[in-house]
Structure 1
Amino acid sequence: MEHPVESAELRRRVLRGLRENGRASYSRIAAELGVSRRQVTQIVQSAITRGELRLTVSISPDLLGLERFAYLQLSVSGPIAPVRSALAAMPESTFVADISGHYSIDVEVRVGADPHLRSTVDRVRELPGVQEVRTHLYESIEVNRYSPLRTGRTSFVVDEADRALVSHLQRNGRASFRELGEAAGISPSGARLRFERLTRDGAVKVVGIPVRGALASPDGAGAADRVETPSIGVGVKIRGRISAALSSVRSLDPEFIATTIGDYDLIVTLSADSYEELLDQADRLRTLPEVERIETWANLRIVKEQYGEGDRLSASPRTPLADDPADTARQHPPTADPGRRPRDPAHPR
């Protein structure tokens, strides 16, 4: 018996189940929603086909050598399109959106060691049409639904098999462990152990990112409905210590929280399934006792939202972690690694 939830609402609830874990079990999602696994599978596959959902793997900033993060708001004279295209093409940009208010467009940048941030901001400032750049330096990122957080600890490194596994996940975030093993030249059980280690240590995160502003029809036919996940950016000034306010802001289930140095103490991204819910979230944030004031801007059109999924990992000798079962199980002879098969010249990686 099918669940009586309307198709549009059911679609939103199914896709929400993949937000923070793009490999979540379809059977578990179906059981939680009281529908069949077949329904969940059809909804997800249809969303991917119609461009509503992107199942991908995000890579830790630590593994990409990224150390500094900033959020820039730009005022633009003349057409925005050339500026938007230039920002989206920058390898340092992870988020680009047309926004409402005094500033026309915003961009989040992630860079390496200094002076990479300064040179990146200079390039943005020199783009034709850019009149003003308002810069907010992230002191720390506390929440990011779609990306691992930077820890500043790089005790884990990756080897060739890890790199091949991640590369395959970039093409198919829900690839089976058999497929991942074949891509990496290891056994399915070895692929599982390596994947679990990479996710446990915050090296990668498989997520289901909604393609904002996608147009689709619930039944695949007829007039299209806008199925975007509405979101707003919020600059927050805090009363007292920021650490005391973070737990209250986290309770709103935001997509993103960063502590910042500059005009705001926090930059927050709120999203919801409807504009009514989004307005309610903003009101709840505004009335928190720790919040002095907020400034909001609507994300009118998000044109780039990528957190390392297009980047390549560089192979390096792997340092075993003390609690890595794949290495604990490895005996003295190299061939005793249960996760690795002998290389077959006829079966290239």
Structure 2
Amino acid sequence: MDEVDRTLVALLSRDGRLSHRELATAAGTTRATVAARMRRLLDSGAFTVQGVVHPSVLGRGSICYARIEVDGAAAPVAEAVAARAEVVYVSLTTGRFAVAAEVRAASDDTVDAALAALRGLPGVARVDALAYRDVIRDAVGPVGEATAHLDSADLALLQVLERDGRASYVRLAAAAGLSAAAARRRVLRLVEGSVVRIGPIVSRGAEHAMGMGIHVRGDARDAALDTAAVPGVSFLARTVGSFDLLATVRAPSATGLADAVDAVRSLPSVAGVETWSHLRFVKESYASLGATE
């Protein structure tokens, strides 16, 4: 992707349903250029635009990050971890912990059971778990508390948006048994209520990614605000465990990653940073409405 492509992705990250005309105005180019680039990027698989539903709506409000130390080859362990339904994300990483995973489950007890199952997998030597206190920024999903009350029409809209975040209001209306105007109002309410976030999910081959475990000085909430302001920080959560904050930095180049990590290290509220590179993403399949627990 070139600079114009990355600008379009950034704009869609703010609002995945921006029209070609709105994208063209914001990017300083023509509608025809935007239409051609969007078609090329979507057809090539560089990214998709999808609606990602809040974990609590899916009955998966307890979230934990697991760093896994292995005894032997890491790839078979990563595949075994990825096969578990409660694990939504797995990657092979550099450093002592060769596998990283995210567990999303209905309760803390269910998370504990999932972690026990991971510890029992062949080749797993140790699991270091970080429980999420709150997610400040998510690369794909909504953050905060989901406030909207859902009915059958809302659920029908969400099921379409999970497959195609840019589906027309006519198509959405047909799926939910509504008028196009009513479908539009409901989608806006679902987005504003943090029930769903509609945006681009970028192919992991198109960018570099690095995990960061952050120790802070003072209140972790203040340090989180400082860290969230650093360009390139795509995910950020307050955690309980080995670190006070967990972050992911993404950039189109290794140089961009290095700049972002140095910017975080330089923050007065940050006492120390541990980093690991994501070498290969094995699984990134967030739970859908058709797969709730």
- Name the structure 2 match of 1:283: 262
TM superposition outliers: structure 1 runs of 4+ over 6 Å: none
- AA paired with 1:272? A
Where in structure 2 are there 5+ consecutive unaligned residues? none
TM-score normalized by the length of structure 1 = 0.79
Rounded to whole Å, the distance in 2 between the matches of 1:40 and 1:79 is 45
CA displacement 1:43-91 (0-9 Å, x = unmatched): 2222222221021110012211223211111122333333222222322
- Name the structure 2 match of 1:236: 214
Contact 2:221 2:238 in 1 (8 A): no
Contact 2:216 2:223 in 1 (8 A): yes
Residue 209 of structure 1: CA displacement? 0.8
Rounded to whole Å, the distance in 1 between the matches of 2:116 and 2:289 is 23
Residue 313 of structure 1: CA displacement? 8.1
Alignment pair present for 1:55 and 2:34: no
- AA paired with 2:30? S
CA displacement 1:91-146 (0-9 Å, x = unmatched): 22222111111111100111112310111001111122111111111111111131
CA displacement 1:10-38 (0-9 Å, x = unmatched): 22222232224221222222223332222
- Name the structure 1 match of 2:118: 124
- Name the structure 2 match of 1:321: none
1:84 aligned residue (78, 82, 85): 78
Rounded to whole Å, the distance in 1 between the matches of 2:111 and 2:8 is 39
- Name the structure 2 match of 1:298: 277
- AA paired with 1:233? G
Rounded to whole Å, the distance in 2 between the matches of 1:193 and 1:32 is 24
Rounded to whole Å, the distance in 2 between the matches of 1:53 and 1:182 is 26
- AA paired with 1:21? D
Answer with 33-42 or 255-264: which moved more. 33-42
Rounded to whole Å, the distance in 2 between the matches of 1:100 and 1:119 is 27
Rounded to whole Å, the distance in 1 between the matches of 2:81 and 2:43 is 27
Sequence identity percentage: 32
Alignment pair present for 1:68 and 2:62: yes
Where in structure 1 are there 5+ consecutive unaligned residues? 1-6, 214-227, 315-349
- AA paired with 1:296? T
Alignment pair present for 1:112 and 2:90: no
> After the TM superposition, which residues 173-252 of structure 1 pair with which residues of structure 2 at under 5 Å, given as runs?
173-213=165-205, 228-252=206-230
Q: Which structure's residues are more often strand, by fraction? A: 2
Q: Secondary structure at the match of 1:19?
A: helix
Give the structure with higher Rg (CA): 1
Q: Secondary structure at the match of 1:173?
A: coil
Alignment pair present for 1:261 and 2:263: no
- Name the structure 1 match of 2:138: 144
Residue 171 of structure 1: CA displacement? 2.0
Contact 1:140 1:260 in 2 (8 A): yes
Change (3 A) 1:189 1:261: same
1:162 aligned residue (154, 158, 164): 154
Contact 1:63 1:313 in 2 (8 A): no
- Name the structure 2 match of 1:35: 29
What is the aligned length? Answer: 291
